[in-house]
Structure 1
Amino acid sequence: MEYILISMSILIVISLLIKVERLEGRMKYMQYTLDQLANQSEIPEKPINDELRKLIKDGKEVKAVKKARETLGLTLLEGKKYIDRLKFYDS
């Protein structure tokens, strides 16, 4: 009986992980589409980007990630990627 419950639990977890993976893929595609639309329509950047660029320029990347996370509601990984994108596009 215990093996059946453990097996079912493992299958449920695997199913959930697959669904999360698919949702992340969809979100990345949506973000890409939004970025393209913003570039084409010349929507101004987020005002926080200037402050983040200044922190990056001053060598305060960790503070920039923290500020991006607080302001934009990002996870640590998302905040790091956001700052890396700002650095890449500015170089």
Structure 2
Amino acid sequence: MEYLFIGLLFIIFMLSITNRLNALEKRLKYISTKLDLVAAQVKVPEHPINDELRKLKQDGEIIKAVREARNVFGLSLLEAKQYVDNL
């Protein structure tokens, strides 16, 4: 019975943490979108790695480009793929 109670507490704790992480991810995406808009308005130059990523993409080495985008920007696999696709 005691293990059941501890297990339920653990599940509730993990759900709470997951909920907070999801909320933080949504806020971070919102902030990132706003920051991109501000950077475009102020005409902040793009990251120098973008030229290399474009070249890799043109050479058909999309996997290398995605890997490099992940290393430089700390993106997830999906985010890096979308980033390279949008270049």
The aligned counterpart of 1:12 is 13
Greater CA drift, 64-73 or 19-28: 64-73
Q: CA RMSD in A?
A: 1.1
Amino acid at match of 1:19: R
The aligned counterpart of 2:58 is 57
The aligned counterpart of 1:89 is none
Task: Give per-residue Cα distances to partners, 1:6-40, cap 9 Å, x unaligned.
Answer: 00000000000000000000010011011000110
Amino acid at match of 1:54: K
The aligned counterpart of 1:81 is 82
Greater CA drift, 29-38 or 62-71: 62-71
Q: Which runs of 5+ in 2 are unaligned?
A: none
Q: Which runs of 5+ in 1 are unaligned?
A: 87-91
The aligned counterpart of 2:3 is 2
The list of structure 1 runs, each at least 4 consecutive aligned residues, that deviate by more than 6 angstroms after superposition, is none
Identical pairs, percent: 44
> How many residue pairs end up in the alignment?
86
Are 2:50 and 1:67 equivalent residues in the alignment?
Answer: no
The TM-score, its normalising length taken from structure 1, stands at 0.87
